[in-house]
Chain A
Amino acid sequence: MLIKLTGGTVYDPMHGINGEVRDIYIQDGRITDPPNDMPIHQVYSLNNKIVMAGAIDIHSHIGGGNVNIARTLLPEDHWANPLPHTELLRAGSGHIIPSTFATGYRYAEMGYTAVFEPAVLPMNARQAHMEMGDIPLIDKGGYALLGNDDYGLRMLAANKDQKAFNDYVAWILRASQCLGIKVVNPGGINAFKFNQRRLHLDEPGPYYGVTPRQILLRLARALHELDVPHPLHVHGCNLGVPGNLETTLSTIEGIAGLPMHLAHIQFHSYGAEGDRKFSSGAAQIAEAVNRNPNITVDVGQILFGQTVTVSSDSMQQYANHLHAYPKKWAFVDIECDAGCGIVPFKYLDKNFVNALQWTIGLEIFLLVDDPWRVFLTTDHPNGAPFVSYPHLIRLLMDRSFRNDMLATIHPDAARASTLGAITREYSLYEIAVMTRAGAAKLLGLSDRGHLGIGAAADITVYTKQEDKEKMFSKPDYVFKDGELIVRNGEIIKVTWGTTHVVRPEFDNSIEKELSNYFDRYLPMKLGNFKIHDEEMIYFGQGHIQVHPCRERNSS
């Protein structure tokens, strides 16, 4: 079937198209050349409509054991937010930590077509994929967590050569069916199991004597040498600690120019100045990002209201658990691999710290010059539920709205912030960069995030409106792989997306030693640890797309 989208105003930053009227043709799920003499089966007239690629969320906790523990912990979120079934849609529930079907529906309704889970513990990857496998409509993928796994730390402690370490990293990517590697509080989650409550960037950790900086460097180098497109995805040391700005700056400066993505950087941009010993480090962080082209960031914006913080960083989550609201929390030490900490949280605009956190995130968005290197996230659900993205986009695009909101927060926080003086307003082109083109580029998804010939036909169409929150809340049309799935903000067809993975080459002889390690110390055999393709594809619901690791030193 040949579909024509005609007369729309196209924003396709990958091809430098900034608001030009273009026609787009879709055939067999892909964007195709204008046809010669072929019958067109459907035409969508898109005059005065905005056309972008489907949006991509690079960091959102949508599936993985930690998400399910958070769901269990908070039945109140589900009782308050029932999602009835329809003839087309499955029932579900939840607003801050929605069930899987609800997650897929809500993302697709906002024009998102791919979402990436950043905390896939290799030991728990099977669960992450099973949960994500029940999320309809959108594509998904995961970043496998390393840097607190006993085996990897042992390799670093023994100073194994980089090649052997690279083989291990590549093996983990393949065994856990992931697209990238994430590190969370390098060494810190493991140190917590030895009853250590804090681990600084250059502090040798317990038992292994390896510092977090060494872990970061070795992992970043591994991904670089393996030519994995997505750079090391980093949740740094000292999350949420006042004064952690210095740690973050040191992390940026100390990565030796290797590519590195710093996740939810808002939580890592705090100074310790002022009466309350809590201040914004946004300006210094943004300046460091601007100065270091190897660095990308996503913000992890907080927005006010009830949410739940969900993290593998059991060490820092434990340190913050006394702030829980409601007052209950769950922690798990997991399989000598990583951990999990769930702490419900309510961000209040009248609370000085929360209000300043809000301004810090927005300052970072607005002070990082290059929209290709800063990404729109709330670290769902940590900073806020993902359904608040349209509101966040309006804050970035509409200065007067932003200043109106600034006037409502804790007055001392508003005074302490430079946000009111920042005049920048994001353009539609810049929004398309940070939520589409830049995201696809950062992840190495060459056929997503743009509208060029051959791209997957993941396309979102909006009506141009002054109120950008309204505009981005309810697209007119969303096409997923060429099929119309959303019309006027409502789902009209349910499809199942693909799981994006990479499979870098490695020397498989490492399996001998790994297998011996599993047999001696762990309750699972190596062969049962590895996730096979057949497990990802069942009852017609799952697909896998393998992305190439780019050729070394090619551009």
Chain B
Amino acid sequence: MFYHTQTGIWEEVPNPFCGIAADDLKVKVEDNRLTIIENGCPVTQPAFEQAIGDSTPQIQGKATRLETAIARANKLLSHSRLPLISGLATDVEGVRAALALADYYGAVIDHMDSKATLRNMLALQTGGWITTTLGEVRNRVDLLLVVGSDIESCLPRFFERYIWNSETLFGQDTAQRKIIYLGQSPSGQAACRPDGRAPLILSCKQEELPEVVAVLRAQAVGHPLQAESVAGITMEKLATLVNRLKQAQYGVITWAAEQWNFPHAELTIQMLGEIIMALNKTTRCSGLPLGGRNGQVTANQVCTWQTGYPIPISFARGYPDYDPYHYNTKRLLESGEADALIWISALDQNDRPPITSIPTVVLGRAGMNFTQVPEVFIPIGTPGIDHGGHAYRTDNVIAVPLHKLRESRLPSAAEILYAMLEYRC
């Protein structure tokens, strides 16, 4: 249970910063300074340990009262033709409040990493998918195929917690689990078996992945091909891979869409989905989309239940409208269509708004420094540190509760956004 073992020490703390949302962290709090003393990782540690900087609201870089900052933000919104609410790195409550504001002002709402999330969403919306969750992986997987992704760089604890776990429910010896990388090689040792043996690697360049996966799909569904190799990988090797997937009892194919920078990556995810569907005719195999940092999955889930759509969404017509291309933050800023930006970034001081000429209101994690001073800066707390909340795990299913660890008196994103609605001009 989430609890204090002694003054200033919290046990079983859920992690809002990493997509696997591990809740086994041990955190020490001294004078509002946090230190992870157990189960930190290179992604989590710096995020938890960022020092609270100046928590005074600012207008054009000058300290002001919170009420004044909110009034200025509201004035900007009321004069805006198309406000853009983006960043959206917050918790469930923050997204709820951002949607209320977007609905009222007819704004567009987007997330700082929506491009990565959309690769998955577009694949799901086009063809559907079969996926699994981390708890199933931990207990059932016997073959893990990693496609074109370096998992340990984005989820450093994935292998430790879900692949090389010491016990499983069904008596499996996890040391015997087969790991295969298709595409790039892993950057570290996390995927190596406990006895030190490295995973099998079928390497190709990232931009060759669509072709390789297409061939793999053809083999999985039984379409004969004339070619002898693709992207330097022989047909024989791919045929062996398909056979291994067919023989696995619970295969899992995983990818981190945020690492895929080739065009139309969603089509490659769709092909992986089709491979998985073909395999399920005779055995069990599931997909596992990995990533989910900065509250991507959280933003998608809440937007979907409140509006019917994942991000990005426009309320400009008075009702939610979903268009992955038109409502993208970068496009709206570059085209000049958006004329006010509300940037929400509660998780990381370094996730600052894009440089833009339009007036910007930042609801940012306290201590944020700017290269371009925003019109309004309202320092906010971080869910899971300064206030409670909820965050979603990368598997799109499980939400973890986030707890308050210190008394910083920093407001939540939701509190500020609801205050903006309450005191609107």
Q: B300 to chain A: which residues have CB within 8 Å?
A: 72
Does B425 have its Cβ within 8 Å of any Cβ on chain A?
no
Q: Decide: A93 near B398, CB < 8 A? Known: A523-B20, A525-B1.
A: no
- Separation of A132 and B239 alpha carbons in the complex (Å): 47
A422 within 8 A of partner (CB):
no
Contacts of B2 in A (CB 8 A): 525, 527-528
In angstroms, Cα B1 to Cα A193, docked, is: 29
Pairs across A and B, CB under 8 Å, 7 listed? A65-B396, A71-B308, A126-B390, A328-B125, A328-B128, A521-B169, A523-B20
Q: A516 to nearest B CB, angstroms?
A: 11
**When A73-B128, A195-B283, A332-B132 are in contact, do A78 and B139 touch as well, CB less than 8 Å?**
no
Q: Is the interface of B mostly helix, strand, loop or mixed?
A: mixed
Q: How many angstroms between the C-alpha atoms of A72 and B161 in the bound complex?
A: 29
Take A72-B121, A131-B305 as given contacts and tell me if A527 and B12 are in contact as well, using a CB distance cutoff of 8 Å. Answer: yes
A131 to chain B, nearest CB (A): 5
State how many angstroms separate the Cβ of A122 from the closest Cβ of chain B.
11
Interface 0/1 of A113-157, CB less than 8 Å to B: 000000000011011001100100000000000000010000000
Q: B136 within 8 Å of A by Cβ? A: yes
Name which of B74-82, B222-230, B312-320 contacts chain A.
B312-320
Partner of B136, one of A69, A75, A83, A193: A193
Stretch at the interface among A24-32, A98-106, A350-358, A394-402: A98-106
Which chain A residues border B12 with CB–CB below 8 Å? 525, 527-528
B287 CB → nearest A CB, Å = 10
Q: Interface size (B, Cβ < 8 Å)?
A: 71
Q: Does B364 contact A (CB under 8 A)?
A: no
A207 touches B170 (CB 8 A): yes
Q: Which of A69, A93, A332, A539 lies in contact with B309, CB distance below 8 A?
A: A93
Taking beta carbons and an 8 Å cutoff, which residues of B are in contact with A?
1-3, 12, 14, 20, 22-24, 92-93, 96, 100, 103-104, 121, 124-136, 138-140, 161-162, 167-170, 249-250, 280, 283-284, 286, 300-302, 304-310, 315, 317-322, 388, 390, 396-401, 414, 418
With contacts A68-B301, A84-B318 taken as known, whether A127 is within 8 angstroms of B399 at the C-beta atoms is yes
**In whole angstroms, what is the CA distance A91 to B306 when docked?**
9
Say whether B1 contacts A523, CB under 8 Å: no
Chain A residues, Cβ within 8 Å of B249: 194-195
Counting chain A CB atoms within 10 Å of each CB, which of B121, B169, B307 scores highest?
A: B307
Looking at A100, A102, A528, the one whose CB has the most chain B CB atoms below 10 A away is A528
A532 adjacent to B319 (CB under 8 Å): no
Contacting residues of chain A (72-99) with chain B, CB-CB under 8 angstroms: 72-73, 75, 77-79, 82-85, 90-94, 97-99
Known interface pairs A71-B305, A130-B390, A538-B93. Does A333 touch B136 (Cβ–Cβ under 8 Å)? Answer: yes
Please indicate the chain A residues that have their CB under 8 angstroms from the CB of B126 in the complex: 328
* B400/A91 in contact, CB under 8 A: no
- Contact size range, A: 35 or more
Q: What's the minimum C-beta distance from B133 to chain A, rounded to whole angstroms?
A: 5
B residues near A98, Cβ cutoff 8 Å: 308
Known: A91-B315, A91-B319. Contact between A523 and B134, CB under 8 A?
yes
Q: Are B162 and A99 in contact (CB under 8 A)?
A: no
Q: Judge whether B103 and A85 touch: CB under 8 Å.
A: yes
Please state if B96 and A77 are interface contacts (CB–CB under 8 Å).
no
Whether, in the assembled complex, A535 has its beta carbon less than 8 Å from a beta carbon of chain B, the answer is: yes
Q: Cβ of A381 < 8 Å from any Cβ of B?
A: no
Residue contact B132 to A75, C-beta cutoff 8 Å: no
A193 with B140: CB separation less than 8 A:
yes
- The answer on a CB contact under 8 Å between A99 and B308 is yes
Distance in angstroms between the alpha carbons of A73 and B1 in the assembled complex: 36
CB <8 Å contact, A193 and B397: no
